[in-house]
């Protein structure tokens, strides 16, 4: 089966830059989306098509993709950004795939 | 603005079936590819399946084939997920999710429905 691999956890100090990676063997052929999920809440789309930001998502959220790795970057991280983050891809055989999730801690 | 309102929590015994509903408002449901995603306690997001109202076709994660039915009730603008032969591992929050850019990404999510499978 096709997997997307994320680090289980990332820690960052307030005001610093957080980077969360997502790797998968077919990522070069697919778009990646990123979702933020705060405890007890439904996920929220923060990045789609690798680097596009939906309306209402702060500019400090950005995305990029190169080769088999996609990256979510949060510049000037704020305490409110503490959450779980999931990458997601669409594959023509397995359809929707989620990464295992990364817990972002803002210390 | 699309809004998805899901049905309430369910408690089921092993071997039973559960039906979770997702009422759609703010957009014509016939244009929305509706997906179902679940999250077991303390675990990550897991895609269950999706229903394309344009062609009436359903797609599933392989592990759920044979146990999942997804339907679309156009008279009530409600999507349904039915999961049969429940086991304890099916205990999770089930989300409906959809978007306006095709099959993915998921711009809009329901509030989630907790399904507990316990004897």
Summarize the confidence of residues B90-104 as an average pLDDT: 92
Give percent of chain A above pLDDT 70: 99
Is B111 within 8 Å of chain A by CB?
yes
Query: pLDDT tens-digit profile of A45-81?
Result: 999 999 999 999 999 999 999 999 999 999 999 999 9
How many CB pairs below 8 A link A and B?
59
Query: pLDDT tens-digit profile of B24-47?
Result: 999 888 889 999 999 999 999 999
Question: In angstroms, how far is CA B100 from the centroid of its own chain?
Answer: 17
Between residues 21 and 60 of chain B, which touch chain A (CB distance below 8 Å)? Answer: 35, 37, 44-47, 50, 59
Q: Is the pLDDT of residue A1 over 70?
A: no
Question: In angstroms, how far is CA B101 from the centroid of its own chain?
Answer: 19
Q: How far is CA A52 from CA A28, A42, B104, B114, in A?
A: 17, 20, 13, 32
For testing contact with chain B, the best of A96, A99, A100, A102 (most B CBs within 10 A): A96
Query: Which residue from B53, B18, B55, B9 is spatially nearest to B35, judged by alpha carbons?
Result: B53
Summarize the confidence of residues A83-104 as an average pLDDT: 94
């Amino acid at each position: 089966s096709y997997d997307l691999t994320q680090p289980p956890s990332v820690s960052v100090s307030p005001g610093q830059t957080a980077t969360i990676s997502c790797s998968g063997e077919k990522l070069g052929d697919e778009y990646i989306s990123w979702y933020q999920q705060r405890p007890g809440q439904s996920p929220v789309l923060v990045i789609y098509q690798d680097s596009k930001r939906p309306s209402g998502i702060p500019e400090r959220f950005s995305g990029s993709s190169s080769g088999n790795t996609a990256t979510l970057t949060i510049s000037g991280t704020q305490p409110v950004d503490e959450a779980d983050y999931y990458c997601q891809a669409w594959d023509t055989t397995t359809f929707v795939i989620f990464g295992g999730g990364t817990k972002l801690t803002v210390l | 603005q699309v809004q998805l309102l899901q049905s309430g929590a369910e408690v089921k015994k092993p071997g039973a079936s559960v039906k979770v509903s997702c009422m759609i408002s703010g957009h014509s449901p016939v244009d929305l590819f509706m997906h179902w995603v679940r999250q077991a306690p303390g675990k990550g997001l897991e895609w269950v399946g999706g229903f394309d109202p344009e062609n009436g076709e359903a797609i599933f994660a392989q592990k759920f084939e044979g146990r999942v039915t997804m339907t679309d009730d156009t008279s009530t603008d409600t999507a349904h997920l039915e999961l049969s032969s429940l086991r304890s591992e099916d205990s999770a929050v089930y989300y409906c999710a959809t978007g306006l850019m095709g099959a993915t990404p998921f711009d809009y999510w329901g509030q989630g429905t907790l399904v507990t499978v316990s004897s």
